[in-house]
Amino acid sequence: MSSIRKITLFLIGTISLMLLFFGGSVYYFQYQYSYTDFYKRLETRVRVAEKYYFDQNETNAQVLKKLRHEQLEKLSEEREYIIPIVNAEELNNIAIEKALPLGFIKSVYSKNTAKYQTEDVFYYGARFDKTNATYLILISAKNYYASHHLLLLRNVLIGSGLISIFIIIYLSYFFSKRIFEPINHIISKVNSISSDNIHLRLDEVKDNGEINKLATTFNSLLNRIEIAFETNKNFISNASHEFSTPLTTIIGEADVALMKERSLNEYKETLQRILNQAERINKISQSLLFLAQTGYKENKLTFDIIRTDELIIQSKEIMNQLIPKNNIQIDFNLLPENPLKLKVYGNKELLLLACTNILTNACKYSSNKPVQVSLASTNNEVILVFKDQGIGIPESEIQYIYDPFFRATNTEAYDGYGIGLPLTRNIVRIHKGQLNISSIQHFGVTVQIKLPIYSI
């Protein structure tokens, strides 16, 4: 059974029960009230009759009688009985003579008041003991309201209830379809995404509440999956190529060394070349492992509050040790007055690694020309800018700079493995930031890192 049908049936059942409950309650209480009210009317007529029949003041009696006929509504088939009683033995004859229920007359006589109903005729009676005799005053009438108005009310409630149910069926189906249609669209789109088109994303519609959040969550998941696919694909296609060169060199050196007896110095030179290639393999493998860890183990990292100005200063100190002749220049002229706008929430070691990767590339590819580092902030972000005056990146190759092991065609004269920028991008993504790189060949590269400001 589809979700739309389930929701529709649930709404129909729930609202139908509510209508049945409220409609039944209205009818029940109105039914009870109509009976109670009608007996009160009959009782009023009995009391008035007692006044004008037995009041010794003739004038008052006539006024009451006139008032009753003029002011009290005439009931349907209303009858009035004034019955003198000498003893209880007369009750049977009176019941037969007046065509009244015997049980009702006996109840009035024994209990002083009584009420009785047979089909749609209602009776009310009272006993009055006077000085010279005992009287029973009985009033009977048909309850027109109960027999007509309640029937009309019942038909109205049933009719309106059925109409409401049909309206509910239509609205339930309509709104259920409107609610689940975007979800079904998302399901269809997700089912169409595979490893061949992992770049596809769901449409995100603003101001659509939970549906938009669902699409955003799926897109975030797809981003992570795409990173996994890219990493696996690049590892297979590129890592095999990067490993093949040093391995071929090692095998070749070993084969040549074993072909004949050689001098001690020749063996040492061969072993040194083998050692160099083995170290290269070790560096590549460590870089690949660390790249994978930053891409998929972000939930295991320890995050703290970090000041970005201190981060830049520490990065400069590290570079002074790695490249003593560096020409890194730090510009703090754009620092905000509020130091809270310099704080981010992140892993210090990873952010230091990202900064030093960028600075290492800047110093290396600019041959230690001046490298400008500046820091600024907006209301929501801290912005770190690294600008060098190096060889730059060819415009046609910028789109590949985040592929592991990719190196631009103009970097052949420089050592490297093509791991730094993919690693830096993963680190920035872990910190919910953005990494933007722009370049003009022969005029240098500008790297911009945006990190969200830590908010308490």
Instruction: Quote the CA–CA distance of 344 and 452 in Å, as a whole number.
Output: 6
What percent of the chain shows pLDDT beyond 90?
14
Q: How confident is the model at residue 208 (pLDDT cuts 50, 70, 90)?
A: low
What are 275's two structure tokens?
Answer: 């050692």
Say if residue 376's pLDDT is above 80. yes
Determine the 3-state secondary structure of 451 from DSSP.
strand
Say if residue 248's pLDDT is above 80. no
pLDDT, tens only, 6-31: 666 776 777 777 777 776 777 666 66
The DSSP letter of residue 106 is H
Place of tokens 């003593």: 324
Select from 70, 69, 110 the least CA-distant residue to 91.
110
Instruction: Quote the CA–CA distance of 10 and 234 in Å, as a whole number.
Output: 51
CA distances from 99 to 42, 102, 360 (A): 19, 9, 118
Cross-strand pairs, 346: 304
Average pLDDT for 42-62? 71
- Residue 257 is predicted with a pLDDT of 79
Lowest-pLDDT range of 63-77, 233-247, 425-439: 233-247
- Residue 291 is predicted with a pLDDT of 56
Burial class (CB in 10 A: 0-12, 13-18, 19+), 254: middle
Instruction: Quote the CA–CA distance of 14 and 25 in Å, as a whole number.
Output: 16
- Residue 167 is predicted with a pLDDT of 80
- Residue 382 is predicted with a pLDDT of 94
Domain boundaries, the chain: 3-149, 209-296, 299-452
Q: Which helix (H) or strand (E) holds 312?
A: helix 308-322
Average pLDDT for 221-232? 70
Say if residue 5's pLDDT is above 70. no
**Residue scoring higher pLDDT (198 or 136):** 136
Model confidence pTM above 0.85? no
pLDDT, tens only, 325-341: 899 999 999 888 888 88
CATH 3.40.50.2000 assigned to domain 299-452? The reply is no
Instruction: Quote the CA–CA distance of 159 and 364 in Å, as a whole number.
Output: 86
- Residue 348 is predicted with a pLDDT of 86
Question: How do the residues of the chain divide into helix, strand and coil, expressed in percent and rounded to 5?
Answer: 60, 15, 20
Lowest-pLDDT range of 151-160, 236-245, 259-268, 446-455: 236-245
Average pLDDT for 101-106? 88
Lowest-pLDDT range of 45-59, 103-117, 123-137, 262-276: 45-59
Q: Are residues 116 and 104 in contact, defined by beta-carbon separation less than 8 angstroms? A: yes
**Residue scoring higher pLDDT (385 or 119):** 385
Place of tokens 């749609």: 120
Say if residue 173's pLDDT is above 60. yes
Instruction: Quote the CA–CA distance of 423 and 294 in Å, as a whole number.
Output: 7
Ranked by mean pLDDT, which of 34-43, 147-156, 188-197 comes out on top?
Answer: 34-43
Say if residue 97's pLDDT is above 70. yes
The DSSP letter of residue 73 is P
Q: How confident is the model at residue 435 (pLDDT cuts 50, 70, 90)?
A: very high
Annotation: CATH topology of 209-296: Helix Hairpins (1.10.287)
Average pLDDT for 82-92? 82
Q: How confident is the model at residue 308 (pLDDT cuts 50, 70, 90)?
A: very high
Average pLDDT for 273-299? 65
**CA 3 to the chain's CA centroid:** 17
Average pLDDT for 180-203? 74
Write down the mean pLDDT value for the chain: 79
Select from 333, 275, 327, 274 the least CA-distant residue to 309.
333
